Amino acid sequence: MPSYVPPLRDMQFVLHEVLQVAGEFKALPAHAEVDEGTVNAILEEGGKFASEVIAPLNRVGDEEGCTLDRATHEVTTPTGFKAAFAKYVEGGWPALSADPAYGGQGLPIVLNQCFYEMLNSANQAWTMYPGLTHGAYECLHAHGTEAQKQMYLPKLTNGEWTGTMCLTEPHCGTDLGMLRTKAEPQPDGSYRLTGQKIFISAGEHDFVSNIVHLVLARLPDAPAGSKGISLFIVPKYLVNPDGSLGARNGIYCGGLEHKMGIHGNATAQMVLDGAVGTLVGQPHKGLAAMFIMMNAARIGVGMQSLGLTEVAYQNALAYAKDRLQSRSLSGPKMKDKPADSILVHPDVRKMILTAKAYAEGGRALNLFCALLIDRELNHPDEKVRKDAAELVALLTPIVKAFITDNGHIATNACMQVFGGHGFIKEWGMEQFVRDNRINMIYEGTNTIQSLDLLGRKVLGNQGATLKKFGKLVAQLVEEEGVNEKMAEFINPLAYLGDKMTKFTTELGFRAFQIPDEVGGAAVDDLRGAGHLVFGYFWARMAQVALRQIEAGNSDPFYKAKLQTARFYFARLFPETASLMLTARSGVKVLLDTEEALA
């Protein structure tokens, strides 16, 4: 069985030394009292919960899966899952970053993200239950009426109820404009919903007494396409005015999906048979309201793959140190043993360092985005809030697609380190590969994220938001451009920043003439942008490490950080050259293929 140790030292490094969150919090009135000690104490306790309570259930969930009673439509989760959720609630974890007005602790989002990384490393399938609930909370907090907030938010905050989002239908996934679920207005102001949803994560389970479904549907007078979608609250049990539970509602689980991974999460087919719902926000404006939840989910999905990358890395490194196999090409290194550990082999180190570099780079990016969200929600200066929101919007598809693609690369590489043992269930590595695979697909496939980044976030405003991130890169380059010790990090970063600016301009001109050029180049463009962003954070981390070493700090952590930064820039960052070549090859070689695809 794999092990997991929360990476508290690296989290503290990113939070306190790179992002300097305590100083950031002082500028946010809601978080001004949150200091370094508070942050560290919460991370330590969160790490204990992740490693001691839910990590031992990861294999159990994979082997048992969920069970549906077709007569009652009730779902039983794997052994220990329900009890773990009760401990999660008992510890106050659902309320961590929720609004104090509804029973929350009001702590920064960046802390919640650290906690969720650890939960995902320990058990992604289990973590999806509270993760979807937090998304539902955020959506209602932003768009619900005061009555809806008072009715639902306190119980989503304290963990008494959970939530979901119900979007996908059998005939439509990403293209939600095609959805058919109907909502008929009733004399009392409620609606009756009829239709079917599929792939609903945590759609039915035995954790709590009520599940609050957020459902997209069409009103009778709805215009065609995405402009005719409305959002509704459809609880499993109707809620009486005093907050008590009423009759069973007409929404139920008609089946569970049989999946490649995340077996411990109930991915449900949900049937709406005249279910009673209440409208959230304005008619036909549901997609905009749901985007609050969808964008939060996209960042959450990036955090899922970050968690799996970290735990896969930890186990691959431990195995490589212990596994004796052949000798080093430069001569025996462990002369008292019959063979050297496989860690002496350069390619084994490459695979492990790839996972380490992608985990630590992903952590820096994810926590930076979480800090931006804290600024967006709490900073007193409107311009700061607006700039933060624009940067989060730009970086969200990179978080979702680049980090999940990297998770696929990293978990597969770490499984490879185990050789034949990696293919065997008992070591747990193949589960990380299977569980991660969904992360590249749901909440908008990574191709959709790429189209969103290039088509909407970059070309859609002539690169204005991209230039804002470019200014961060330029500031770092200017600050360290004459520092010879930083040259190995700054020079390739500056070079790529210049190339990406010209490349994006070029793509814009080509897309103006041939719109399909965006589709042909988008995936490569996002990966290039991902490396630019990771390169920026790796350069910042190297900057901090170098300064600590120059100041006489002998903590080996900083030397390790520099070595990993050098590996990233030497072995992973150069992928950008081939990405630009393939993107520039044009769309003709993809579209002029009628005979090849006949």
Q: Is pLDDT above 80 for 175?
A: no
Question: Do 590 and 483 lie in a common domain?
Answer: yes
Question: Do 123 and 211 lie in a common domain?
Answer: no
Asked about 64 being catalytic, the answer comes back as no
Q: Is pLDDT above 70 for 414?
A: yes
Pairing, β 161-166 against β 210-217:
parallel
Torsion angle in degrees (nearest 10) through CA of 384, 388, 390, 393: -170
Question: Do 139 and 200 lie in a common domain?
Answer: no
Question: Do 108 and 192 lie in a common domain?
Answer: no
- Residue 511: strand, helix, or coil: helix
The predicted-structure confidence for 517-543, as pLDDT tens digits, reads as follows 999 999 999 999 999 999 999 999 999
Q: What does the pLDDT read at residue 195?
A: 96
For residues 341 and 86, give the distance between their C-alpha atoms in angstroms, rounded to a whole number.
43
Active-site choice (443, 484, 575, 595): 443
Question: Do 127 and 214 lie in a common domain?
Answer: no
Buried b (16+ CB within 10 A) or exposed e, 273-302: eebbbbbbbeebbbbebbebbbbbbbbbbb
- Write out the E strands in 122-181: 161-166
* Domain extent at residue 470: 464-598
Q: Which amino acid is at 464?
A: A
- Position of tokens 């690296």? 10
Question: Do 489 and 589 lie in a common domain?
Answer: yes
CATH (domain of 261): 2.40.110.20
Q: Is residue 525 part of a domain?
A: yes
Q: Is residue 302 part of a domain?
A: no
Element (H, E) at 299: helix 286-322
Q: Is residue 305 part of a domain?
A: no
Q: Residue 293: which pLDDT band, with cuts at 50, 70 and 90? A: low
pTM: 0.97
Positive or negative: CA dihedral 25, 30, 32, 38: negative
The domain tally of the chain equals 3
Q: Residue 172: which pLDDT band, with cuts at 50, 70 and 90? A: confident
Whole-number percent of the chain with pLDDT over 70: 99
